[in-house]
Amino acid sequence: MVQSSKNKVAIQKCLIFLIIYMTVIASLYSQSKKVVYTRDFAQKLEKAQADFIRPVEGFYKIKVLDRDEFMKYDLVLRSQDKAFEMRFAIHPNDRLATPQIQCFNLLNSIATNDAHFDIKLSLYSEEQARSDYNAEWAAYADFVPKKSYSDYHYGRLVTIYREGSGLIHQVLLFNQHDREKNIRMHSISFLKQPF
């Protein structure tokens, strides 16, 4: 009788240990399934002195899209549970043209030219660009993508620039206007510089 109750206690302890062990393993497995970024993307972030806040919700996965007819991307992420995609192009130490021209050129390439659709461009003040992105210049534009660029209904281009660090384009593509585009437009920024 005493032996039987000892066996029950031992079995209960084993079950508790097994449950805890399975929980830890499941947690580690789910963490290992998080998006792993390419070495090239990480190196460009470092060269541009930039930081990326990876999405921890929304089941974002890397989408294979290295290049399209409009530009080359360093990283493309697509949400599996939302109709949402993020494309990033990082140009460390880019001094080819002013950021305004590069932003407008890209926007003119990827936004539809249909007269029924407007492009809403918002330029940040220097103070706001510094506050939001640690940038010297920043802008974003809401647009309707060309069908040759994307099947998504809407797009938002965010471009940030800092002399000595570079230029970064982030293209957000989506089917519904919701909070996601406002949250994700702050996924990338320059690192704060010591004064």
Query: Into how many domains does the chain fold?
Result: 2
77 in the same domain as 96: yes
17 in the same domain as 80: no
Three-class secondary structure of residue 62 per DSSP: strand
51 in the same domain as 18: no
Residue 195 within a domain: no
42 in the same domain as 94: yes
Residue 144, pLDDT score: 95
| pLDDT band (50, 70, 90) for residue 87 | very high
157 in the same domain as 63: yes
Q: 3-class secondary structure for 70-134? A: CCECCEEEEECCCCEEEEEEEEECCCCCCHHHHHHHHHHHHECCCCCCCCEEEECCHHHHHHHHC
79 in the same domain as 4: no
91 in the same domain as 7: no
Domain containing 70 — which CATH number? Answer: 2.60.120
**Average model confidence (pLDDT) across the chain:** 82
Segment 165-188 mean pLDDT: 91
Residue 3 within a domain: yes
Encode pLDDT of 14-25 as tens digits.
667 666 655 545
pLDDT of residue 27 exceeding 50, the answer is no
25 in the same domain as 106: no
24 in the same domain as 88: no
Encode pLDDT of 103-161 as tens digits.
999 999 999 988 778 889 999 999 999 999 999 999 999 999 999 999 999 999 999 99
Contacts of 180 (CB under 8 A, 6+ apart): 58, 79, 82, 84, 174
83 in the same domain as 19: no
Of 81 and 171, the one with more pLDDT: 171
112 in the same domain as 164: yes
Residue 56, pLDDT score: 73
101 in the same domain as 70: yes
Which residue range(s) make up the domain with 113?
A: 36-190
The helix or strand, by DSSP H or E, that contains position 190, with its residue range, turns out to be: strand 188-190
